[in-house]
Structure 1
Amino acid sequence: MPHMSGYELTRRVRERFSLSELPVLLLTARSQPTDIYAGFLSGANDYVTKPVDALELKSRIWSLTTLKQSVHERLRMEAAYLQAQIHPHFLFNTLNSIMALGDIDTEKMRRLGDAFASYLRVSFDFLNSGELVTLSHELELVSAYLYIEKERFEDRLFVTWEVDPNIDLLLPPLTIQPLIENAVKHGILSQVKGGTVQLRITRQDGSTLFEVRDDGKGMEQEKVQQILDLRMRDKSGIGLSNTNRRLTQMYGKGLSIHSKLGEGTIVSFIIPDPNK
C-alpha cells in the first residue's frame, strides 16, 4: 500500500466498525513488542508474523469470521427482541379501544381487532429472526401498526403511503417498522396538534429508496449523531441505532437522518439491487 500503512487503514476501519463487527487480522513481518502493540492500538484484532504457517493462518481467520457471524446474529436477534417488546400501554390502550367500540361500532371494532391480531402475529413471527424477509412481510406489519394508531388517535395522525408498484425485493426484517413507530410516537404524537407521517418507497437507478417523513417536533443534531454513531448502544426506543448498524453491516451504508426542531424529520436508507 504505497499511500497508506496497514495501521492507518485499520484506524480508518475502526472509525466505522467495532472490533467484533469487522475483525482485522494483520499479516506483518514485524514481530517486536512495540510493533505488535502499535497494531493492537490501531484497532487490529489479531496478527500473524511472516513467514506464515498456513494452518495457523486458517485457524485465526476462522476464529475471527466466527466472531463476526456471532455478532451479526446477535444484532438480528436483538432486532426481533426489540419488536417483541410491545409496550404495555400500547397493548392495554389498544384493547381498551377495541372494547369501547363494542358499544359504539361493532364493524369498526372488528376491523381494529383484525389489525391488532395481524400486528401481534407479524411481530412475533419467526421470520423476524431471519436474515431477510420480503417487502410485503415488512409492509404488513407497518400497515397493521398504522391502522391501529390511526383508529386510536383519529385526526391527530394522518398517513400518506407512496409505494411504487411491482417492487419485489428482500430486506432485513424490522427496518421500516422502527422508523415508522419512532416517527409516530416521538415525532407526531409528542405534539398536541399531531401531524402527518409519509412512507415513500421508490425505485432509483440500481437501488430502492425507503423514506419516512414526518412533520413532528424534530430532533436536535446531537440526538441525530447519537443514533448514527456506530459505537453507541441505544438501549431505549425500538431500535433506530440497531437498524442503522444492521443496514451498515449488510450494505455498507446505514440510515440518513435530516431533522430540524419544530419542522420534522426525514429518515431514509437505500438498498442496492442484488446484482449491483
Structure 2
Amino acid sequence: MSHPQGDQPEIECWLTDMDGVLVHEERALPGAAEFLNRLVESGRRFLVLTNNSIFTQRDLAARLARSGLNVPEESIWTSAMATADFLARQMPSGSAYVIGETGLTTALHEAGFILTDTDPDYVVLGETRTYSFEAITRAIRLVQSGARFIATNPDATGPSAEGPLPATGSVAALITRATGAEPYFVGKPNPMMFRSAMNRIEAHSESTAMIGDRMDTDIVAGMEAGLRTFLVLTGSTKREQVDRFPFRPHRVVDSVGDLVQLV
C-alpha cells in the first residue's frame, strides 16, 4: 500500500517500541494485537524494541503472549542485544565485566564475549533488580584502571508497582561521579540502537517507520536515524506536549491501531 504523502516510498519495515505502544502494565493496548497480526500476515519485516536490558527475547515474547500479543522471539530487539552487537563489532571476542541480568549476559555470551572481573576490555552496565554495592565498587575500580565504560541505556528510572526504581542511568551517574568517566550509552535515544535493529532485518531507513510513545527517546532517535516517525498517545507523551519539542514526528496518532491500514 502506498503512503498517502505522495513521493515517499512505501513503508516496508517497522520498528515499534514496546511499553506505551503495545503494552501498558502487562495489558495489551488498543489495536496492538490487530497491528502485530497485520505485520505477520503481510510478511512485513519488523522488530519490537525495548530499552529494558533485564530480559531475554524469550522472556519478553512470553510476557507479550501473556498480554495476548503474539510476537516471535526473533522479532524482539533489546538494548542488551544492541549493546552486544555494538561491542562485537568494536572488539570481536573481547571481554567485559557486566552488571546486569540474563538479558545482558546472554546477549554478550552469544556475541562471543568473555565475561570476567579481571582486566576486562569493557565495564558494561545494564539494569538489574538488585544493584550490589560490591559490584558497583568493582566497576569503579576497573574503569579507573582503564576499562571502557558502556551502558545499555540512559533511563534514570524504571517503573514498578510500588513506584519508580533507579535504573541504568542513575547507577551510571554514580560510577561517572566516582571515576570522571562518562559511559557510551547504546540504547535509545542513541540512533545506534535503531541502526543495529535495521541491520538485523536488512531494512533501509527511507522505507522504515518507527512507532514510539516518547518524543525525547523514540521520536528523536528515529528522526536521527532517518526513519519516518509515528508518535502514539497511549504512553508517556500527551498531545499538548508535542509542540514543546524542537522537532516533530511524521504523524501523531491516538494509538497503534490507527496505523493498521498502513501495513
Instruction: Bin the TM-score by the shorter chain.
Output: under 0.3
If each structure's helix is expressed as a fraction of its own residues, which one has the higher value? 1
